[in-house]
Amino acid sequence: MNTVLFEINDSVAFITLNRPDKLNAFNREMSLSLQETLDKCEKNSSIRCVYITGAGRAFSAGQDLSQVNDSEEFAVMGKILSEQYNPVVKRIRNLSKPVIAAVNGVAAGAGANIALCCDVIVAAESASFIQAFSKIGLIPDSGGTYFLPRLVGFQKASAIMMLGDKISAKEADEMGMIYKYFPDKEFEQEAEKIARTLSSLPTMGLAFTKQALNKSLEQDFEEQLLTEGILQQKASATNDFKEGIKAFKEKRRPNFRGD
Ligand code: LHQ
């Protein structure tokens, strides 16, 4: 059975984490397969949005704990992160197209933090987010200590990570951890609608927006204004910018092609 399912529908790439019996917990194979799939998404210019979800009732329960030995040396843990998790979150942040996390169910440990590094995060009402690490004596990884305080503020992040609380989709929405949540019955349809909208927008402009946001996480105000200037020039050299202006003047809807 493939641990990661991949399907292209129109210009959206649907990626499904597929180990439902283990709540889509990550083993090495799933992690490497997700990395390869994200590379395919980067290379295929017909893909203009990437949609990540989980099979069955979970998004992902993080690392497959049945495959972790409690006598692992620290060097081994570091290797698991550098080979299996860091490359996933780096690929998502560097991907030149929007990535939407469609959190269909529980997202725990690295599973939660992979969702939290995506560009748009939506959840089903019954979904939840758990920084499960403290329950097993580990620290939050996969970029969680970077993104969570920036999403919800230092105090909320600190408490959530230390206590390992189960955060409902509604709470996650209220504290700014996610973009929106939807009733379970409407979730798939609504999440896919957002993905299709993203795929119809000026893809290169969105890629530059993403680069600017990435930079904003580490740069000061002056540096950020310079970055905006450089990226705005690049955006204005795209065909989609020409189409946007033309459509505005002709009082019609633009037809962006992503170039
Ligand atoms: C699982 C898992 C799982 C295996 C549920 N593994 N089977 C990075 C570097 C190196 C090492 C360590 O980790 C990391 C990053 C990390 O992600 S660490 C954090 C790892 N994840 C967790 O600690 C979460 C563990 N899971 C849970 O706390 C619960 O399963 C949650 C809250 C996710 C869901 O609870 P329930 O809805 O009550 O489901 P369940 O616990 O009954 O699980 C259903 C099945 O899935 C069950 O198997 P079984 O054969 O009994 O039906 C679980 O054993 C299995 N499963 N998570 N991570």
State the CATH number of the domain containing residue 100: 3.90.226.10
**Of 23-32, 42-51, 69-78, 120-129, minimum mean pLDDT range:** 69-78
Which of 65, 68, 142, 145 maximizes ligand 1 atoms within 8 Å of its Cβ, making it the mutation to test the pocket? 65
pLDDT(154) > 70: yes
- H or E segment to which residue 93 belongs: helix 86-94
SS3 state of residue 46: coil
Query: For the segment 57-68, what is each residue's pLDDT rounded down to a tens digit?
Result: 999 999 999 988
Determine, yes or no, domain membership for 107. yes
Which of 23, 67, 134, 166 maximizes ligand 1 atoms within 8 Å of its Cβ, making it the mutation to test the pocket? 23
Secondary structure letter of residue 62 according to DSSP: S
Task: Give the separation between CA 116 and CA 135, rounded to whole angstroms.
Answer: 20
214 shares a domain with 170: no
21 shares a domain with 133: yes
Determine, yes or no, domain membership for 71. yes
From the CB of 138, is ligand 1 less than 6 Å away? yes
Contact 84, 31 (CB under 8 A): yes
Query: For the segment 177-204, what is each residue's pLDDT rounded down to a tens digit?
Result: 999 999 999 999 999 999 999 999 999 9
Task: Give the separation between CA 241 and CA 204, rounded to whole angstroms.
Answer: 10
Number of structural domains, the chain? 2
What is the reported pLDDT for 74? 62
SS3 state of residue 218: coil
- H or E segment to which residue 7 belongs: strand 4-9
Which range of residues forms the domain containing residue 107?
4-199
The reported pTM is 0.97
112 shares a domain with 49: yes
What is the reported pLDDT for 100? 98
Task: Give the separation between CA 215 and CA 211, rounded to whole angstroms.
Answer: 6
Task: Give the separation between CA 234 and CA 144, rounded to whole angstroms.
Answer: 31
What is the reported pLDDT for 76? 82
> Ligand 1: distance of its center to the CA of 164 in Å?
13
SS3 state of residue 83: helix
220 shares a domain with 125: no
What is the reported pLDDT for 69? 75
pLDDT(42) > 70: yes
Q: Looking at the DSSP assignment, which residues form a beta bridge with residue 166?
A: 130
Task: Give the separation between CA 202 and CA 241, rounded to whole angstroms.
Answer: 8
> Ligand 1: distance of its center to the CA of 4 in Å?
18
Q: What is the CATH number of the domain that holds 207?
A: 1.10.12
Determine, yes or no, domain membership for 218. yes
34 shares a domain with 111: yes
17 shares a domain with 142: yes
Determine, yes or no, domain membership for 258. no
